[in-house]
Structure 1
Amino acid sequence: MNTKADARKGLGKDPRKGLGKDLRKDLRKDLRKDLRPSRLTPRDVLRVGAVGLRARRARVVLSALGIAIGIATMVAVVGLSESSRADLMAQLDRLGTNLLTASAGEDVGGKPVKLPKTAVAMVERIGPVQHATATAEVDARIRRSDVVPKERTAGVTAQAARTDLLSTLGGRVAQGVWLNPANERLPVTVLGSVAAERIGVTRPGETIMMNDVRVVVVGILEPIELVPNLDRVALVGFPAAERHFGFDGHPTTVFERSTDASVEDVRAILARTISPGAEAGVKVSRPSDALAAKAATDEGLTTLMLGLGAVALLVGGVGVANTMVISVLERRQEIGLRRSLGATRGAIRVQFLTESLLLSALGGGAGAVLGAAATYAFARAQGWTAVVPAWSLAGGLGATLVIGVLAGLYPAIRAARLHPTVALNAG
């Protein structure tokens, strides 16, 4: 039959010749697609990397701890520095930076200089000056009572003060009253906060001895932040100092406040205004400069602590690298099996690099949380406003990713280079 003859005739022919051209092209495409290694999706990569970490939890925790300590140190140092600086800036804004002091120094020959009695009045003539006042050292030994030897002064000195001193400095009375026109001629005193503690005075109305004069304590001051040396003195009125302690009326320190915009201009002429022709013996300073210097010192300390945090982070990175190298050695058979099943070298590299990144990210996230928590806790204990800059958290997490890539790069390359046969035969 013709059908059988046709069948026998076609037995030796290529069956593809009977197919259309488009159909043969589709078959070749499907064949290449079937033989092509499968690609891991990002979700698969994360899942495979997480499985490797879960299998070695104790080692993972210890390795992540090194990263966490480094990041926590860096975040906490930056946060505490910013919190301290913010508190300092708020303090400067509250106290003002427009206070200048002029104190008696020495002339060119090294002899002590006395400021003129009219120093305050002369300073008040400067146009931008808003307030001017003065204090003066008084030669008086201070004791708790007359039974205490005169040599035991408890480290407290005496100074004369004008009645407008407290308002000029922005100070406040903690207990009692301040000097006023009614009591500045009487043997009364107002104690600084430290002076009251050293002498043992706890409330107004108690008496102390200044030389051989019994003096009534009428007030105790709160700490004066811009002029902390006044915390350790007993203040009496100028008239009382002249009447009872032989004070000659020459001020020792003049304080003035001017407008913020004119501080430097006033500073330039303050010495020669107070003592014309002998301005070399007048020392002019700005109390707020000490607080600004403190901020600069804190910044230097912050740099040092950040260096220590970077060292801790480096140590943590070495720990991650060590963990990943050991992981490659222990999992050679797993790597060989995956290669035999069709995993490419690139897939192996991505797997171990992902494990390193996840390990570093785990430590970095924990470190950022710990650093922020430490900042808030310490700032609250100090009474500061807690500040944790967002850039410090972002920088810390970014540093962990860099550490993760660097620490996992060599182990990932080493794992990818393992031959499947050698890896499967590794005991």
Structure 2
Amino acid sequence: MLGQALLMALRALRLNLLRSLLTMLGIVIGVASVVTVLAIGSGAQSQVTRQIRAIGANVLMINPGAARQGGLRLKAGTRATLTEGDVDAILEQVPQVRAAAGSIAGSAQAVRENRNWNTTVNGTTTNHFVVRDWTLSSGRTFNATEEAMAGKVAVLGSVVARELFGTDDPVGAEIRVMNVPFEVVGVLSPKGPDQDDVAFVPLSTAKLRFLGSAGGTARDAVAYILAKAVSDEAMARAKASIEDLLRQRHRIQDDQEDDFKVQDPSAAAEAQRGATRTVAILLTSIAGVSLLVGGISIMNIMIVSVTERTREIGIRRALGARGRDIRLQFLCESLVLCLAGGLVGVVLGATISLTVARSAGWTTVIDPSAVAVAVGFSAITGLFFGLYPAHRAARLDPVEALKAE
């Protein structure tokens, strides 16, 4: 019976093809909107997750404060207030911190034979890789002697390794940075294009050879500090302890503002993800309204169809069809309309998502479960809004239906 009802529904919809297509339009737009919004929203959340993973788990970033010039406050990081001594103090006196590293960075040209590449040179310590959960694809990081004696060694990000060495193994080879020769001792595993275009050298080497001390005001100054908490639960306590410790070390009075700023990048990323989720829910709700309008349109058209096909219904009843058979026929027509509209909407939504991803450079993720939910919701819409027209058709009096013109 169900198979016959579906075949009859398809035949009836094909006989009024233009009206069927126009009826499906609301469902198509609604499902396409849901798929597009969820794809863009999932892509945004996926990108935020990658950013958090690229930074490292449980990482706190400590930046210098803002300097003042002529009564004007400059941007954050313009005061050289952080030192290597601060890093040591954090490691020794903040039990919630597992590892910490100070860094200075600058842009420089890296040269290897006839190849060259402008990249970021980061002077830091081995703890930097521990803080950021950054593994090696080959080689090693700096040893204690190289850090203490300003050794001319470098660890390359995957982008720099590829640009300077192609498919060759960089470990053991020599590169030049600002005419200073460096031996490549390691290559880092990829973390993402924005993270991998970097070359790391020992902090003492960076200060001595080409970058100088941060800001030039203190020999042991660093541009920023990264600290890794022992767990997620310890993040808040670690942040508070670091702030108390640095205020004490920098002799900041109670009525004075901090000359540093401790930030939790993962918290900011989570906030961004929450905002993205809220926008996605809002847009999905709007798409749901579109589905609702499409469902109402289907109900209206089905009511008109019942009125137009009154004689057909009377003939079927005269030949022995029961009320539930008529109800099933019209429900199947409504269901087929919505499912067809849902499938077309999925294809249209996926096309729009891919187009947006290519043209705007956004990340989109088409989740099969989201597609299934959108199609399933369109089917529910068809059943719900087709119920009244189907019930109305089933209640028609056979004799009166046969008299209809």
> Which TM-score band applies after superposition, normalised by the shorter structure?
0.5 to 0.7
Structure with higher Rg: it is 1
Equivalents in 1 of 2:112, 2:321: separation in Å? 92
SS of 1:131's equivalent in the other structure is strand
Separation of aligned partners in 1, 2:327 and 2:42: 35
CA distance in 2, matches of 1:339, 1:71: 36
Q: Quick one: which of 69, 84, 103 aligns to 2:63?
A: 103
Identity of matched residues, % = 23
Letter in 1 for 2:332: L
Q: Quick check: 1:216 aligned with 2:183? A: yes
> What is the alpha-carbon distance in structure 1 between the residues aligned to residue 209 and residue 51 of structure 2?
38
Give the TM-score of the pair, scaled to structure 2: 0.68
Counterpart among 179, 200, 203 of residue 142 in structure 2: 179
Residue 205 of structure 2 is aligned to residue 240 of structure 1: yes
What is the rounded CA distance, in whole Å, between the counterparts of 1:69 and 1:293 in structure 2? 30
SS at match of 1:55: helix
Q: Which residue of 2 aligns with 1:401?
A: 380
**Counterpart selection for 1:289 from 260, 267, 290:** 267
Q: Match for residue 324 of structure 1?
A: 302
Alpha-carbon shift at residue 306 of structure 1 (Å): 2.2
**8 Å contact kept, 2:318–2:398:** no
Structure 1 residue 169 displacement after superposition: 1.6
**Aligned-partner Cα distance in 2 for 1:272–1:229:** 33
- Contact 2:335–2:382, Cα closer than 8 Å, also in 1: no
Question: Do the aligned residues in 2 keep the contact of 1:113 with 1:281 (CA within 8 Å)?
Answer: no
Count matched residues: 362
Distance apart, 1:413 and its partner CA: 4.3
Structure 1 runs not aligned, ≥5 long: 1-42
From 140, 153, 164, give the equivalent of 1:188.
Answer: 153
Post-superposition shift, 1:291?
3.6
**What is aligned with 2:250?**
276
Query: What CA distance in whole angstroms lies between the structure 2 residues aligned with 1:230 and 1:251?
Result: 20
SS in 2 for 1:223: coil
Provide the C-alpha distance between the structure 1 equivalents of 2:403 and 2:332, rounded to a whole number of angstroms. 27
**Cα separation, 1, equivalents of 2:3 and 2:199:** 73
Residues 75 and 393, structure 1, Cα contact 8 Å, conserved in 2: no
Distance of aligned partners of 1:180 and 1:229 in 2 relative to their CA distance in 1, 3 Å threshold: farther
> Which residue of the partner structure matches residue 357 of structure 1?
331
Q: Which residue of 1 aligns with 2:222?
A: 251
Give the AA of the match of 2:227.
Answer: E
Change (3 A) 1:126 1:343: closer
Q: Structure 2: which 5+ runs fail to align?
A: 214-218, 355-362
Alignment of 1:17-416 (within 5 A): 50=6, 52-58=8-14, 59=16, 62=21, 67=27, 70-71=30-31, 74=34, 97-107=57-67, 109-110=73-74, 112-124=79-91, 125-138=93-106, 141-144=108-111, 154=118, 156-184=119-147, 185-197=150-162, 199-202=163-166, 203-204=169-170, 205-224=172-191, 230-245=195-210, 246-247=212-213, 248-260=219-231, 261-274=233-246, 275-278=249-252, 280-303=258-281, 306-307=284-285, 309-310=287-288, 313-314=291-292, 316-317=294-295, 320-321=298-299, 323-325=301-303, 327-337=305-315, 347=323, 354-362=328-336, 367=342, 388=369, 397=376, 400-407=379-386, 409=388, 413=392
Map Cα deviations across residues 31-60 of structure 1 (whole Å, 9 max, x no partner): xxxxxxxxxxxx7xx688557414325258
How far apart are 1:170 and its partner, in Å? Answer: 0.8
